[in-house]
Chains A and B, each alone.
Chain A
Amino acid sequence: MNLHHLPNQRPNEHVVLFLRRHWFSLLRIGCAFALLTILPLSLLWYFWNSVSVWIQEPFLGPLLTMVGCMYFLSIWLFVFLEFTDYYLDTWIITNERVLNIEQEGLFKRTSSELDLASVQDATAETRGFFETMFSYGNLFVQTAGEKVRFHFKSIGHPEYVKELLMRHVQEDKQRVVHTKETK
C-alpha cells in the first residue's frame, strides 16, 4: 500500500493523519520476546553441568537439541506474527474519510471506511496507569446510523486525534453543504 494512492482515493483527497497503535503495544511484544528467550537460556546456563551430559547422549542429545531449535524458531515466528498484527493495524484520517484497516492473525483482515460528513461524535478514552503515563488510549467514532462505532485501538494522544478529527468533520460537512448549494 502507498499513502499517496489510497484505496478508492477521491479527487483532492489527502492524508491528514496516519495512525498505528502506540509504541507501548510494541514494547509488550518486545518484553514477551525477551522473557521467552532469556528465561530458557538462563535455565540452560544454570543447569549446564547436567544439560551438557544429556546433549552428548546418542539418543537424548539430538532430541533435546531439536526441541531447543524448534522452540527458538517458534519464538522468532510468534514475535513476527505479533509484529505483523501490530504493523498492519492502521487508521488513516483523510480530509474526506476515515479508513480502518485491521489485521487479525494471518487469515483475517477487515477494511472499512467512513465518510467524515456522517460522523456524529467522537469519544477519547484513556484509562489505567500506563495509558495515563504514556498518553495513549482508545478513540470511538460514532456515526448517525446504528452501525458499530469505529474503534481506534491504543493510539497515541487520543484527545488530540479527536480534536483534529472533529475539526475535519466540521470542514467536510461544510464542504458537502457548499457542494449541494452550488448544484
Chain B
Amino acid sequence: MSFSFPEISIPVFSFLGIFGLYMACYVLYSLFNIFHLVKYGIAGNGLFLIVFTFLGGTILLVAASIFLLLPYDWTYAIPLNQITDVFNENVAL
C-alpha cells in the first residue's frame, strides 16, 4: 500500500502567511493591553516602566525572530511526493 500526491509543491514562504496572521493578532492584543494600562492604570513612573518593559520585551523578541528566520531560503518548495515518500518508507518497513 502506498500513497502518492499529484505534482504539487508547498513553498516555504506560505508559512510566513500564518506567522503574519499571528503577528497581526499579537499586535492587536498588545495594543489593547497598552490601551487598558494607560487608560485605567495609575498615572506615574511605575506605569511608564511597565509599558516600556512590555514594549522593550516585544521589540527584542520580534527582532530575535527576524534574526532567526531571515537566513532561511524562503523560496524553497517541498514537493508533496517527498512527504509521502517518508510515509511509504515507514509502511514498507
Residues of A within 8 A of B (CB): 1-3, 58-59, 61-63, 65-66, 68-70, 72-74, 76-77, 80-81, 83-84, 87-88, 90, 101, 103, 106, 109
Inter-chain contact A59/B78, CB cutoff 8 Å: yes
In the bound complex, residues from chain B placing their C-beta under 8 Å from that of A101 are 40
Check B50–A83 contact: CB distance below 8 A. yes
Q: How far is the CA of A109 from the CA of B39 in the complex (A)?
A: 12
Residue of A3, A65, A72, A76 near B72 (CB, 8 A) is: A65
A62 touches B43 (CB 8 A): no
Contacts of A62 in B (CB 8 A): 12, 15, 69, 72, 74
Interface string of B20-41 (1 = CB under 8 A from A): 0010001001101100110011
Q: Decide: A65 and B41 in contact? CB cutoff 8 A.
A: no
Contact present for B68 and A69 (CB under 8 Å): yes
B12 and A58 contacting across the interface, CB-CB below 8 Å: yes
Partner of B61, one of A59, A73, A106: A73
Shortest Cβ distance from A3 into B: residue: B42
Main secondary structure of the interface of A (DSSP, over half): helix
> B29 touches which one: A2, A3, A81 (CB < 8 A)?
A81
Q: B: which residues have CB within 8 A of A? A: 12, 15, 18-19, 22, 26, 29-30, 32-33, 36-37, 40-43, 50, 54, 57-58, 61-62, 64-65, 68-69, 72-74, 76, 78
- Taking CB atoms, residues of chain B closer than 8 Å to A81 are 29, 33
Closest A residue to B25 by CB, please name it: A77
Count A/B pairs, Cβ under 8 Å. 80
Contact assessment for B41 and A87 in the assembled complex, using a CB-CB cutoff below 8 Å: yes
Cβ-closest chain B residue relative to A111: B40
Given contacts A72-B61, A83-B50, 6 further A-B contacts (CB under 8 A): A1-B40, A59-B76, A63-B12, A84-B33, A106-B29, A109-B40
Between B22, B69, B72, the greatest number of chain A beta carbons within 10 A of the residue's beta carbon is seen for B72
Within 8 Å CB of A87, what residues of B?
37, 41, 50
- A-B contacts, 12 of them at CB < 8 A, read A3-B42, A58-B76, A61-B72, A62-B69, A72-B61, A73-B65, A77-B29, A77-B33, A80-B54, A88-B41, A106-B36, A109-B36
Q: Are B36 and A88 in contact (CB under 8 A)?
A: yes
B32-A106 in contact (CB<8A)? yes
Residue from the list A63, A74, A77, A84 in contact with B36, Cβ < 8 A = A84
Are A66 and B50 in touch, CB under 8 angstroms?
no
From residue B29, how far is it (CB to closest CB) to chain A in Å? 6
